[in-house]
Structure 1
Amino acid sequence: MPIATVNPANGETVKTYEPMDDAEVERRLQLAEATFRTYRTTSFAERAEHLNRAADLLESDNDEVARIMTTEMGKPLAQARAEAAKCVKAMRWYAERAEKLLADEVPDEADVKDSGASRVRVVYRPLGPVLAVMPWNFPLWQVIRFAAPALMAGNVGLLKHASNVPQTALYLEDLFQRAGFPVGCFQTLLVGSAAVDEILRDERVKAATLTGSEPAGRAVASTSGEMIKKTVLELGGSDPYLVMPSADIDRAAEVAVTARVQNNGQSCIAAKRFIVHTDVYDTFLEKFVAGMKDLTVGDPMDDHTDVGPLATEQGRADVEELVDDARRSGADILCGGERPDGVGWYYPPTVIAGVEREMRIHREEAFGPVATVYRAEDLEDAILIANDSPFGLSSSVWTRDEDEMAHCARDLEAGGVFVNGMTASHAAFPFGGIKRSGYGRELSAQGIREFCNITTVWQGA
């Protein structure tokens, strides 16, 4: 895949970049290693000053960077502006809290005495250069939620961004340099995916984080396992959205529409499988389909647009294949399901009922504005359907029954359970999944500690 900005709204190539050659990659690896030696000794106050400055600059650049993101991957401009604003909040959150999150810990006094020590501390120290392999769907947020905690912990970052968002990738390197971080703290590597393996094998790279597809996750995990390097993986998701009879059905249906089509349906944590109790199934479905039909599909630069184009031509083809397979297998297409005429990689909001286990869309992630709806006999049946997936990223549950809330929190196989609200990520809370959705956690205290050497310092009498 070439490294280029191709506008998905019209298929036109805006700008093309030559991949960095081996010499340039080597220069940047050397710089990362050298910078880490000194940057690791800087104070939290110094790092926070730079990160807060980066937040201020991004806040000022909001409209500019939002337009870059929309041009590169097609999200509605209003959502791109919101993404940039979310990044600003996360940077300030880590700038304020990192020192406390990574403060030395003192074990229980009795345990210290029992070990024969006079003093024991547990300290968090940075690992070194961390390689981040990031996707195009949230081209700013996915990077910032790695970079903000990693830089505050004293690590340095090497970004291998998706090849269709090079302008966003270069903007990020420039942002951190303008903010005053030492040269080499955060570098963008304009390289193709084939170059990742060799970079990951380099001894100067100490760890890796990847958000992306299952195949990409397997490749990074395999090489990292061979090299015995720490990784955090956030992969696909096919999140369930459970609706029980006690729920506010109007609100559940309204939020369901947003939860499915956010970011043009191209979000790992978007609700994708809507599992509805039989007693409210017909009512919910009528409202949900009406809401999906009412969405405005069009130019993502227009503030009145709800759903823009899919990011790539292949991405649209993949969604079409899943829908067509379901149709051929007997599923009911309640709205959408047909590629529109005209330029751009658009696909309409689509709702599919009558899904069976043998259909591809039951097992695979639909990365576009396509929803599948299931009828459940009771809560146990709903949870069985929800867990019948290779993925386990997050989930959403709509009920007013406290026992049902507790039951779902206990039994749903996911990294998150959101009750009466749609799944979202927030700097203060750990984010990640289980099963084929990956491992490790981003954000919160857990996220900043993922790429730290947790060291026990034992002192004798």
Structure 2
Amino acid sequence: MSKIETTNPYTNLKIESYNTFSSEKVTTILETSKDVFNRWKLVEVKERVKLLDNVADVLSKNINTYSQLITDEIGKPISESKAEIEKCIYLCDFYKKNANLLLADELIETEANESFISYDPLGVILAIMPWNYPFWQVMRFAIPALTSGNTALLKHATNVTGCALIIQDVFEKAKYPKGCFQTLIVDHDQIEKIIENDIIKAVSLTGSEQAGRKIAAIAGKNLKKTVLELGGNNACIILEDADLNKHMTTIIKSRMQNTGQSCIAAKRFIVVEAIYDEFLKIFTSKIKELNCGDPSKESTDIGVLARQDLADTLEDQVQKSIEKGANIHFGNKRNQTYYQPTILTKVEPGMPVFDEETFGPVASIIKVKDKNEAYEMASNSKLGLGTMIFTKDSEDAKKHVSNIEDGSFFINELVKSDPRLPFGGTKASGYGRELSREGLLEFVNIKTVYINK
């Protein structure tokens, strides 16, 4: 048994210390989850969704406490931490209103007297979740998984262990059966044995490409389904006719939300040369206006990176890109976990800031000749989470939907997740979908029922 310590990345002060769970405790948790599932799956959907009001109520009543915990553990600006909790409340509302219909048996006309599709829960689902949206990432898995009749186990990132335990408490306060949702405080070397356990029926992971490959290999070896939402280096295409005055606030947010620590953030700004100088001028002026500082203050736009090693990695990616010819247009100052909002120009394929996911407030600007080169450059990535395009000609942009392989294609808006729409990636960004009907059905047995009398 080892210890996990959480640290405030802004103050560098210790928050809490936790003991990892013993093998015996993990076994007990697994058995409990299995036993609860055998009862929970028999509860009608219309009864399960009633508990979503309770979850929303608990989140609403404790929004200030939960938001401050997020900010303390990862340095997220408090205004964004509150917005994260509010989004979880909206998620509850969506499934409360729609899950009963989405999970209803689907009648199919065949030669049988009766035939239909039944959506039955799989069982105990393991979620391995990241730190950057410590409530939202978990809730967008847990709410549909529990609502469809599964039970859930959470292995959260160690630096948000406090959030992990609070989320379990949220479900218990909301009157879910005790054991319906449980947190596992375990080391990485315990994960393989947990996945191999027959009680675990599927795994959902949001994390890096490297983590996704490891988990998929373990799950595949044991013939267990996975949903993987991995990294992204989303392109933000700025076409010649883009209305910069109208959309610049959205464009800035597409990169700088959560201090740039978002898988779906715009990482590569691909700008047609006819508008390049104007874009760079306005973009730079808006970046300079961002308020950097104490993440606990409502006025703060940019906080700190969640850990020292994350700042080290970002600094290394930027430095290697500069060595390959990238230019520092603005920023690039660092103080421990603080990384100044940074703009790099003369960025090209082959540089880390073009090829890789950059997790922090660094914007890479790529100049292209025209629209066709812009779309080609956007597709030049092993990742496929999302692409955004800014243009006045949305009808023309729609013609390129099938040319972009990503999981999302947003016109005149930043890529974002929405409970009403499926969310996920392609290529090295993973597979499977979360949210909407598609996410609700990821962890069910889509069963054919055929009846003759």
TM category (shorter chain) comes to over 0.9
Give the CA deviation at 1:48.
Answer: 1.4
Q: Tell me what 2:78 maps to.
A: 77
Pairs within 5 Å for 1:82-161: 82-107=83-108, 109=109, 112-113=110-111, 117-161=112-156
C-alpha distance in 1 between matches for 2:384 and 2:266: 12
The answer to whether residue 210 in structure 2 is matched with residue 210 in structure 1 is no
The answer to whether residue 302 in structure 2 is matched with residue 307 in structure 1 is yes
C-alpha distance in 2 between matches for 1:413 and 1:281: 25
**Structure 2 segments unaligned to the other structure (5+ residues):** none
C-alpha distance in 1 between matches for 2:246 and 2:235: 17
Q: Tell me what 1:387 maps to.
A: 379
- Paired letter, 1:150: A
1:180 is paired with a residue whose SS is coil
The answer to whether residue 345 in structure 2 is matched with residue 353 in structure 1 is yes
Aligned length, in residue pairs: 452
Give the CA deviation at 1:460.
Answer: 2.1
Tell whether the 8 Å contact from 1:250 to 1:284 is kept in structure 2 after alignment: no
Q: 1:186 aligns with which of 165, 181, 189?
A: 181
C-alpha distance in 1 between matches for 2:188 and 2:169: 22
- Paired letter, 1:294: E
Segments ≥4 residues shifted beyond 3 Å: none
Give the CA deviation at 1:407.
Answer: 2.6
- Paired letter, 1:50: L
Give the CA deviation at 1:89.
Answer: 0.8
Tell whether the 8 Å contact from 2:126 to 2:202 is kept in structure 1 after alignment: yes
2:400 is paired with a residue whose SS is helix
C-alpha distance in 2 between matches for 1:397 and 1:408: 10
Give the CA deviation at 1:45.
Answer: 2.5
Question: Which range moves more in the overlay, 138-147 or 185-194?
Answer: 185-194
C-alpha distance in 2 between matches for 1:96 and 1:420: 29
- Paired letter, 2:444: C
Pairs within 5 Å for 1:218-257: 218-257=213-252
Tell whether the 8 Å contact from 1:4 to 1:165 is kept in structure 2 after alignment: no
The answer to whether residue 399 in structure 2 is matched with residue 410 in structure 1 is no
Pairs within 5 Å for 1:261-280: 261-280=256-275
TM-score under structure 1 normalisation? Answer: 0.96
Give the CA deviation at 1:403.
Answer: 4.1
Q: Tell me what 1:419 maps to.
A: 411
User: Cα deviations across residues 335-354 of structure 1 (Å, max 9, x unaligned)?
Assistant: 111213xxx51001011111
1:380 is paired with a residue whose SS is helix
The answer to whether residue 18 in structure 2 is matched with residue 17 in structure 1 is yes
Q: 1:200 aligns with which of 170, 195, 214?
A: 195
2:419 is paired with a residue whose SS is coil
Tell whether the 8 Å contact from 2:387 to 2:409 is kept in structure 1 after alignment: yes
Give the CA deviation at 1:213.
Answer: 0.7
TM-score under structure 2 normalisation? Answer: 0.98
C-alpha distance in 1 between matches for 2:175 and 2:357: 41
Tell whether the 8 Å contact from 2:394 to 2:411 is kept in structure 1 after alignment: no
Tell whether the 8 Å contact from 2:242 to 2:390 is kept in structure 1 after alignment: yes
C-alpha distance in 2 between matches for 1:402 and 1:237: 24
Give the CA deviation at 1:410.
Answer: 2.1
The answer to whether residue 41 in structure 2 is matched with residue 49 in structure 1 is no
C-alpha distance in 1 between matches for 2:215 and 2:132: 19
1:146 is paired with a residue whose SS is helix
User: Cα deviations across residues 364-392 of structure 1 (Å, max 9, x unaligned)?
Assistant: 11000001011121221011110111111
User: Cα deviations across residues 71-130 of structure 1 (Å, max 9, x unaligned)?
Assistant: 0001000000000010011012112211100111122x3xx02xxx22210110000000
Quick one: percent identity of the two aligned structures?
40
- Paired letter, 1:352: L
- Paired letter, 1:301: S
Tell whether the 8 Å contact from 2:88 to 2:136 is kept in structure 1 after alignment: yes
User: Cα deviations across residues 238-293 of structure 1 (Å, max 9, x unaligned)?
Assistant: 00001112221223333221110100100000111001111101100111111112
Tell whether the 8 Å contact from 2:348 to 2:366 is kept in structure 1 after alignment: no
C-alpha distance in 1 between matches for 2:188 and 2:304: 24
C-alpha distance in 1 between matches for 2:271 and 2:391: 11
2:154 is paired with a residue whose SS is strand
1:16 is paired with a residue whose SS is strand
1:121 is paired with a residue whose SS is strand
2:421 is paired with a residue whose SS is coil
1:275 is paired with a residue whose SS is strand
Q: Tell me what 2:363 maps to.
A: 371
**Structure 1 segments unaligned to the other structure (5+ residues):** none
Tell whether the 8 Å contact from 1:379 to 1:404 is kept in structure 2 after alignment: no
Pairs within 5 Å for 1:167-186: 167-186=162-181
C-alpha distance in 2 between matches for 1:251 and 1:263: 22
Tell whether the 8 Å contact from 1:131 to 1:208 is kept in structure 2 after alignment: yes
The answer to whether residue 428 in structure 2 is matched with residue 441 in structure 1 is no
